[in-house]
Amino acid sequence: MLTLPAIVFGALAAAVVAPWTLGRLNPRLLVLVPLAALGALIYITGEVTSADLITHQISWVGSLGVNLSFRIDAFSLLFCWLITGIGALVVFYSASYFSDNPRVKYFTFLILSFMAAMIGAVLSDDVIIFFIFWELTSVISFLLIGFDSTKPEARRAATQSLMITAGGGLALLAGLLLLAQAAGSTQFTVIVGEGARIAELPIYPFALILILAGAFTKSAQLPFQFWLANAMAAPTPASAYLHSATMVKLGIFLLIVLDPAFGSTAIWQTLLIGFGAGTMMVAAGQALRVEGFKSVLAQTTVAALGTLTLLVGLDTPVAAVATVGFFLSHALYKAALFFVAGNAMHATGISSLREMGGLYRALPLTAAAAVVASLSMAGLPPFIGFIAKELLFEAKLAGGLTALVAIALIVNSVLVALAAVVSLRPFYKGPQKPAQLRHRERISLVTPPLILAGMGALLGIIPGLASSVILVDAASAVAGQPVDTKFKLWHGLTPMLGLSVVAVASGALLAWKWRPSHAALSRVETPLLFQTERLSDGLGSLTLALARWVTGMLQHGSLRRYTLVPVAVMLAVLCFAIARNGIAVPELTFNRPYIIGLTIIIILGSGLAALTKSFLAVLIGVGLVGYALGVFFLKNGAPDLAFTQFAVETVFVVIASAIILRLPLTVGDARTKSEKVIDGTLSIAVGGAATVMMLAVLASPLDERVSDYYRLVSLAEAYGRNVVNVIIVDFRALDTLGEIGVVALAALGAFGLMRGLKIRSRKTMS
């Protein structure tokens, strides 16, 4: 089905282009991009629900076995509906929310690219493509959380989320590659098909843990849950989109995709149920402690994600139905509540729940949306949240673990209480005369939450609407087998209903006593075990300190220490070679006694150059060494070298004297005594190693084949009798041209440096 790549790449292209073209006319027009994607997705609904799974493959990097393959089943279609539908509302909402912010185009660009990346991840069948889109969502989420880049807490939260989710992403990549290797294909469909075989392999537990690390970081499971709470530093439309409805669900989505393959293994069930239940409890506790409007919502999101993880871990058909139902209902009410929170904060300019109150007079429609969405969150009839919660209880009862039922009961009571707190406290309780309002209700800001809350109510009242269109098919896709529908409002007098009544009653009590309980709980220290944020921060600052130390060590700005490093490395390499091969001694001859004299001059010249204070003496030392070498060349069959050496040495000494005379002659070496001792020791060691090296060179046999070739063909091919000259100007003429180029460049450079001086000195004179 060609529609899948068309939707993914079309959304990507539109995200990049539209904000700067369409958005220039009116940012609200950008809502057309997600709506077009949603339209295309609705158009293919019939085709998707009539088939179990549709795949489409475009060959890409065939040699690596990586192809642009896409898949869609009823559940991923449902997820894409949520992504594009809520995406449209977010774009619409942010156009108004940021009406006085010139960066609204950039913000919408981020939201639209995020939407495209999400669709890409959900629809891709290739693990590599999936991973690319997965990381793209992490990066864009980083940019969105840090949107208010002038605020330190936004930057900190953005970095933290990137570290956690991108770090988890690396683990995920390793896990996916292990799976792909085991399955012999990078396609999810093949991996899932081979699931039973892979689960038997010894590699399976490692692959699973790596993948769960990726999914748990993304979906803010214990012990990574803290980044999501801090991510509330993002602008509210971004929070509504990323951190409630879409991005954090991507980890759950991955679990759901792999569930048919590994859902029946014990390690999968243990880990998912354990971490899911733990996350639920911790998040419920945290939710009662925090007081920011968005922080409360964030913690309930973490609890909901824990619930979803747990549900995926339960291997029953009813758990599949519950997963899908809760997935849908949570996306609807949580996005609505974030919009509501955004409205209240936008209008009042305060963010603490304890300071808000009596807003229903000023923001009646927002208050209505808050109440309706909260009722769905609390799981009261006739809202979709009620159906989802009944299913949830049923799945946990069917799971057979009483502890799970107890946890679900506690967490649901907390959700009921917080639903009441976030809908009643800011709007209907507290001071009847609200604080100074920045603006009255704006119709464009209340439409999105009203639509979402209305959807929740509509799907609750007519559950058949959702289940006949997609829910049953989606649940079948999640379960990996056809399931019969249980998606209805009234199940009769079941144990689940009893649990609901208990949850609502205890939640109401908790809400009534919210202020004292909140005050009491916020005084309690978090148990050390759950302070993973401090661990992560500690690791982060340790890494930074290490980086600062290493940079300080390597880039200290001292030329002497920069030079010491290669010298020491060279010495180490030489010592290693000597230690390995021993000291090779060539056949010693003693036929040219004048060489002793030359060597004495060389040694004296070196010593003079290295040790004297006067620069003229240094220059004399260098000159002596050069001339001695020239004499050595002359006497050993290299007259050309000798002449060049004499000429160069003379010119060099002239230039050097000219410059030295312009510099302070008295300034000695600034090294301290101990530095000199270190350098001296090192230099003598290097010199000793060099001596051994030259002996080794002389001891090794000489291969003269190339030289013999030049000796033979010099006259015949190049008509020259001086073999050295023929090599330079004929056989290696190109080399020599390059050499001339270097000399010319050096001369030009020196000329440029000197010329600048003249101009300046003339200016200063006049």
| 444: number of Cβ within 10 Å | 13
Binder of another protein out of 715, 717, 734, 759 (CB under 8 A): 715
Is 624 one of the binding residues for another protein (CB under 8 A)?
no
Q: Distance between CA 268 and CA 205 in Å, rounded?
A: 9
Contact by Cβ (8 Å): 56, 4: yes
Interacting residues of 711 by C-beta distance below 8 A, sequence separation 6+? 723
Q: Which is nearer to another protein, 539 or 746 (CB)?
A: 746
Q: Which stretch binds another protein (CB under 8 A): 93-101, 205-213, 320-328, 717-725?
A: 717-725
Q: How far is the CB of 756 from another protein (least distance, A)?
A: 8
The interface with another protein within residues 577-606 (CB under 8 A) comprises 586-592, 595-596, 598-599, 602-603, 606
Q: How far is the CB of 733 from another protein (least distance, A)?
A: 11
Eight-class DSSP state of 66: E
Q: Which amino acid is at 731?
A: F
Q: Which stretch binds another protein (CB under 8 A): 31-39, 257-265, 311-319, 650-658?
A: 650-658
Q: Which is nearer to another protein, 13 or 648 (CB)?
A: 648
Q: Which is nearer to another protein, 440 or 705 (CB)?
A: 705
Q: How far is the CB of 162 from another protein (least distance, A)?
A: 25
Binder of another protein out of 498, 581, 707, 737 (CB under 8 A): 707
Q: How far is the CB of 155 from another protein (least distance, A)?
A: 21
Q: Which stretch binds another protein (CB under 8 A): 126-134, 455-463, 470-478, 630-638?
A: 630-638
Q: Which is nearer to another protein, 53 or 610 (CB)?
A: 610
Eight-class DSSP state of 242: I
Q: Which stretch binds another protein (CB under 8 A): 200-208, 221-229, 524-532, 562-570?
A: 562-570
Q: Which stretch binds another protein (CB under 8 A): 283-291, 306-314, 431-439, 631-639?
A: 631-639
Q: Which is nearer to another protein, 515 or 560 (CB)?
A: 560
502: left (phi over 0), alpha (psi -120 to 50) or beta: alpha
Q: Distance between CA 264 and CA 283 in Å, rounded?
A: 27
Contact by Cβ (8 Å): 404, 396: yes
Q: Which stretch binds another protein (CB under 8 A): 299-307, 409-417, 438-446, 555-563?
A: 555-563
Q: Which is nearer to another protein, 538 or 687 (CB)?
A: 687
Is 551 one of the binding residues for another protein (CB under 8 A)?
yes
DSSP for 582-641, please give it: ----PPP----THHHHHHHHHHHHHHHHHH-S-HHHHHHHHHHHHHHHHHHHHHTT-HHH
The interface with another protein within residues 492-511 (CB under 8 A) comprises none
Q: How far is the CB of 543 from another protein (least distance, A)?
A: 18
The interface with another protein within residues 741-760 (CB under 8 A) comprises 742-743, 745-747, 749-750, 753-754, 756-757
Contact by Cβ (8 Å): 163, 148: no
Is 764 one of the binding residues for another protein (CB under 8 A)?
no
Tokens read off for 35: 């709506």
Q: Which is nearer to another protein, 462 or 568 (CB)?
A: 568
524: left (phi over 0), alpha (psi -120 to 50) or beta: beta
Is 671 one of the binding residues for another protein (CB under 8 A)?
yes
Is 727 one of the binding residues for another protein (CB under 8 A)?
yes
Is 650 one of the binding residues for another protein (CB under 8 A)?
no
Beta bridge partners of 68: 58
Binder of another protein out of 130, 147, 514, 633 (CB under 8 A): 633
**What is the helix (H) or strand (E) element at residue 475, kind and residue range?**
helix 472-479
436: left (phi over 0), alpha (psi -120 to 50) or beta: beta
Tokens read off for 563: 């030079």
Count of residues that bind another protein according to CB under 8 A: 109
Peptide bond into 382 cis (omega under 30): yes
Torsions phi, psi of 148, nearest 5? Answer: -80, 70
Contact by Cβ (8 Å): 326, 276: no
CA 60 to chain centre: 25
Binder of another protein out of 640, 677, 717, 737 (CB under 8 A): 640
Q: Which is nearer to another protein, 33 or 618 (CB)?
A: 618
Q: Which stretch binds another protein (CB under 8 A): 78-86, 216-224, 350-358, 610-618?
A: 610-618
Binder of another protein out of 528, 529, 670, 765 (CB under 8 A): 670
Eight-class DSSP state of 315: -
Q: How far is the CB of 597 from another protein (least distance, A)?
A: 10
Is 564 one of the binding residues for another protein (CB under 8 A)?
yes
Q: Distance between CA 439 and CA 442 in Å, rounded?
A: 8
Is 663 one of the binding residues for another protein (CB under 8 A)?
yes
Q: How far is the CB of 636 from another protein (least distance, A)?
A: 6
Is 481 one of the binding residues for another protein (CB under 8 A)?
no
Segments in 349-439 forming alpha helices (H): 364-378, 384-399, 402-428
Tokens read off for 507: 């939640």
Is 625 one of the binding residues for another protein (CB under 8 A)?
yes
Q: Which is nearer to another protein, 402 or 691 (CB)?
A: 691
Q: Which amino acid is at 188?
A: F
Eight-class DSSP state of 669: -
Among candidate residues 222, 231, 366, 356, the one with its CA nearest the CA of residue 295: 231
Tokens read off for 643: 């002449």
Q: Which stretch binds another protein (CB under 8 A): 33-41, 176-184, 217-225, 662-670?
A: 662-670
Q: Which is nearer to another protein, 663 or 765 (CB)?
A: 663
Q: Which stretch binds another protein (CB under 8 A): 127-135, 153-161, 247-255, 734-742?
A: 734-742
The interface with another protein within residues 28-67 (CB under 8 A) comprises none
Contact by Cβ (8 Å): 133, 120: yes
Binder of another protein out of 2, 443, 524, 702 (CB under 8 A): 702
Q: Which amino acid is at 376?
A: S
Is 728 one of the binding residues for another protein (CB under 8 A)?
yes
Q: Distance between CA 389 and CA 375 in Å, rounded?
A: 12
Is 691 one of the binding residues for another protein (CB under 8 A)?
yes
Q: 18-36 burial, b if ≥16 CB within 10 A, otherwise e?
A: bbeebbeeebbebbebbbb
The interface with another protein within residues 362-381 (CB under 8 A) comprises none
The pairing of beta strand 66-72 with beta strand 54-61:
antiparallel
Interacting residues of 18 by C-beta distance below 8 A, sequence separation 6+? 30, 32, 33, 112
Is 734 one of the binding residues for another protein (CB under 8 A)?
no
Q: How far is the CB of 270 from another protein (least distance, A)?
A: 49
Q: How far is the CB of 611 from another protein (least distance, A)?
A: 8
Q: How far is the CB of 593 from another protein (least distance, A)?
A: 9
Is 724 one of the binding residues for another protein (CB under 8 A)?
yes
**What is the helix (H) or strand (E) element at residue 661, kind and residue range?**
none
Q: How far is the CB of 652 from another protein (least distance, A)?
A: 6
Contact by Cβ (8 Å): 400, 391: no
Q: Distance between CA 245 and CA 243 in Å, rounded?
A: 6
Interacting residues of 477 by C-beta distance below 8 A, sequence separation 6+? 52, 53, 73, 74, 75, 76
Tokens read off for 26: 């009116």
Is 765 one of the binding residues for another protein (CB under 8 A)?
no
Binder of another protein out of 519, 636, 733, 737 (CB under 8 A): 636
Q: How far is the CB of 655 from another protein (least distance, A)?
A: 6
